[in-house]
């Protein structure tokens, strides 16, 4: 494993185990020097809490990036999560273009939609901006809903392998390179991830836990990036991240007071062992 400096750009919810509060510890556990660029600061995440505070940091991003350029700071990879506006997407594109090492990786989790719908803060203009960022990246990690918005495909809850293959074809035709499509299940009690890399499509299936938890997409993405930068190929990293995420959910079940996230910290020793296997 090489010691790498990476940057992750997403919001920080001070309480709630999502976004940067999971990405930073998971990537650090993976042995990465993890630099962060918060797109916003929230007192809690927005799913289930009320009266939360939000501080938008869009105006700070250009000055931070300019300072890094002045100091000749460069990153081996930049990984993005939730970005709050099309303006932030444009700033991230500039960071991709000016702050990555020559062979640095652009990794985009287009966190903007689920269950057939965009998140409330987003609209068609945001989707168009995200298309530019995602299709210029080396690796994207959309769920099915996000893949549909990126390709102007009508969303379906019922699908088969042929429909998923066609969705991947549309992503590839639009410019996607390596695709990690999450939340793909062909049986009621199973789910998984489909990886298309260099024209080869592979599916990793695992147990589906009926009660989902907020923040697991962020946990998955961070675990994937950590595994990838430890030398795993995209499929192996996707499978490892899925196993780790399932374990985080298992460790949280049975504790109704912990409804707002997963106890990912308890599984970090297992994650480190997975990386070393």
Q: Which residues have a Cβ under 8 Å from the Cβ of 101 and sit 6 or more positions away?
A: 74, 75, 76
What average pLDDT does this structure show over 3-12?
A: 95
Q: What is the pLDDT of residue 213?
A: 80
pLDDT band at 257 (very low <50, low <70, confident <90, very high): very high
Tell me if residue 43 falls in helix, strand or coil: strand
What confidence tens digit (pLDDT) does each residue in 186-245 have? 988 889 999 999 999 999 998 887 666 889 999 999 999 999 999 999 999 999 999 999
Identify the helix (H) or strand (E) that includes residue 39: strand 33-44
Q: What is the pLDDT of residue 56?
A: 95
Domain limits, the chain: 5-276
Q: What is the pLDDT of residue 201?
A: 98
What confidence tens digit (pLDDT) does each residue in 151-197 have? 999 999 999 999 999 999 999 999 999 999 999 999 888 899 999 99
Q: What is the pLDDT of residue 1?
A: 55
Q: What is the pLDDT of residue 31?
A: 97
Secondary-structure class of domain 5-276 per CATH: alpha beta
Q: Could you give the CA distance from residue 7 to residue 92 in angstroms, rounded to a whole number?
A: 11
Q: Are 61 and 32 in contact (CB under 8 A)?
A: no
Instruction: State whether the Cα torsion 275-141-176-94 is positive or negative.
Output: negative
The fraction of the chain above a pLDDT of 70, given in percent, is: 99
Q: Could you give the CA distance from residue 174 to residue 135 in angstroms, rounded to a whole number?
A: 7
pLDDT greater than 90 at residue 126: yes
What average pLDDT does this structure show over 263-276?
A: 97
CA atoms within a 13 Å half-sphere pointing along the CA-CB vector of 244: 34
pTM for this predicted structure:
0.96
What average pLDDT does this structure show over 29-57?
A: 95
Q: What is the pLDDT of residue 210?
A: 66
Q: Could you give the CA distance from residue 224 to residue 194 in angstroms, rounded to a whole number?
A: 13
Q: Which of 120, 112, 49, 43 is closest to 81 using CA atoms?
A: 112
Q: What is the pLDDT of residue 249?
A: 93
């Amino acid at each position: 494993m090489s010691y790498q400096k990476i940057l992750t750009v997403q919001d920080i919810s001070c309480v709630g185990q999502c976004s940067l509060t999971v990405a930073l510890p998971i990537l650090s556990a993976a042995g990465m020097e993890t630099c962060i660029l918060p797109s916003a600061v929230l007192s809690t995440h927005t799913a289930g809490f009320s009266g939360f505070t939000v501080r938008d940091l869009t105006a700070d991003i250009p000055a931070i990036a300019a300072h890094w350029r002045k100091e000749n700071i460069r990153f081996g990879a930049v990984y993005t999560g939730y970005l709050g506006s099309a303006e932030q997407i444009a700033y991230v594109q500039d960071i991709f273009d000016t702050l990555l090492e020559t062979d640095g990786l652009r990794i985009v989790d287009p966190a903007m939609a689920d269950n057939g719908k965009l998140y409330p803060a987003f609209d068609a203009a945001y989707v168009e901006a995200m298309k530019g960022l995602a299709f210029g990246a080396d690796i994207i990690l959309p769920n099915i809903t996000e893949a549909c918005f990126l390709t102007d495909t009508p969303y379906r809850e019922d699908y088969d392998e042929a429909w998923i293959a066609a969705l991947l074809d549309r992503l590839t035709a639009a410019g996607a390179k390596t695709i990690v499509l999450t939340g793909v299940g062909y049986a009621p009690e199973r789910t998984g991830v489909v990886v298309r890399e260099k024209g080869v499509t592979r599916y990793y299936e695992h147990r589906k836990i009926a009660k989902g938890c907020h923040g697991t997409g962020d946990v998955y993405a961070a675990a994937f990036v950590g595994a990838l930068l430890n030398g795993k190929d995209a499929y192996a990293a996707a499978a490892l991240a899925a196993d780790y995420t399932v374990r985080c959910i298992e460790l949280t079940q049975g504790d109704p007071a912990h409804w707002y996230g997963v106890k990912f910290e308890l599984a970090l020793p297992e994650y480190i062992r997975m990386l070393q296997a």
